[in-house]
Amino acid sequence: MTETRTKRGFALLVLAFIAAVALALWVYLKPYALTGQAETALVSGKGITIEMNDNWISLEPLAASGAGVIFYPGGLVKAEAYAPLARGLAAAGHPVYIARMPLNLAMTRSDAAEEIIRVHPGLSFVLGGHSLGGVIAARYAASHPDELAGVFFLASYPDEKGSLKSTTLAVLSVLGTEDKVVDPKKYREGRAYLPDSTVYYSLEGGNHAQFGSYGPQKGDGEATITENAQQKETVRALLDWMSNLR
């Protein structure tokens, strides 16, 4: 009887532990919710065709006239959250492909760009991302510089594994003045891994979260411009940068 109770007690402890771990993972890995702007931007129309598959969301203009854009989302942010930003680029003639990441973490599929490039052989591409997405995008670019025309960072920076210092890639770095999520020290250190020709754009009044449409982010600064204004200015910065690509 005592042995049976001991086994039963042990089994209950194991189940309780598993439940606690599952709950912790659910809380930690729960993605940010999408805003209404993101949902509206995912509807085809006004010269832009939107398609979704398991690996990416595509926003393709009826009359494409520029480089394709591959986008890696930030950590725990759904790909759909970047639809408004992507739509602004597509409206200017750039096909945009937002990579879907397992668990909404870019490091789970760092080579997401590979398949997108393979199935669109007629396009030249720039690759970039927001926050964690930019870090992982840089790692892919560092290993495949001949496949890309440029790399961009939104509230992000490369690490040593993603060093682009020795490449000839065009690079753009955009950072909001009210961003309190990016570590200033690590951001400065990341500049050592970028080419001297890198273009740095300071987005006045912008914060970390408003590059996407997923609401406030814990620890972020309070933006002094609207989400729409921040994304429009980001689109302008990207378009100006891409207009100078070879």
| Residues 70 and 106: beta-carbon distance below 8 Å | no
Mean pLDDT of 71-91: 98
pLDDT value of residue 2: 60
Which is it for strands 170-176 and 199-203: parallel, antiparallel or unpaired? parallel
Q: How far is residue 236's CA from residue 55's CA, in Å, rounded to a whole number?
A: 27
DSSP for residue 30: P
pLDDT value of residue 30: 80
pLDDT value of residue 63: 87
Q: Is 22's pLDDT higher than 50?
A: no
| Residues 111 and 176: beta-carbon distance below 8 Å | no
- Residue 34: which of 53, 57, 51 has the closest Cα? 57
What's the pLDDT band for 19 if we cut at 50, 70, 90?
very low
Cα–Cα distances in Å, from 153 out to 88, 113, 138, 169, 208? 17, 15, 9, 13, 12
Cα–Cα distances in Å, from 224 out to 68, 173, 188? 31, 20, 24
- Residue 146: which of 165, 120, 168, 162 has the closest Cα? 168
Q: H/E element holding 174?
A: strand 170-176
What's the pLDDT band for 25 if we cut at 50, 70, 90?
very low
**Could you read off the pLDDT of 172-225 as tens digits, one per residue?**
999 999 999 999 999 999 999 999 999 999 999 999 999 999 999 999 999 999
Cα–Cα distances in Å, from 98 out to 12, 153, 197, 203? 44, 14, 26, 22
**Could you read off the pLDDT of 83-112 as tens digits, one per residue?**
999 999 999 999 999 999 999 999 999 999
Q: Is 15's pLDDT higher than 90?
A: no
What's the mean per-residue pLDDT of the chain?
91
| Residues 158 and 136: beta-carbon distance below 8 Å | no
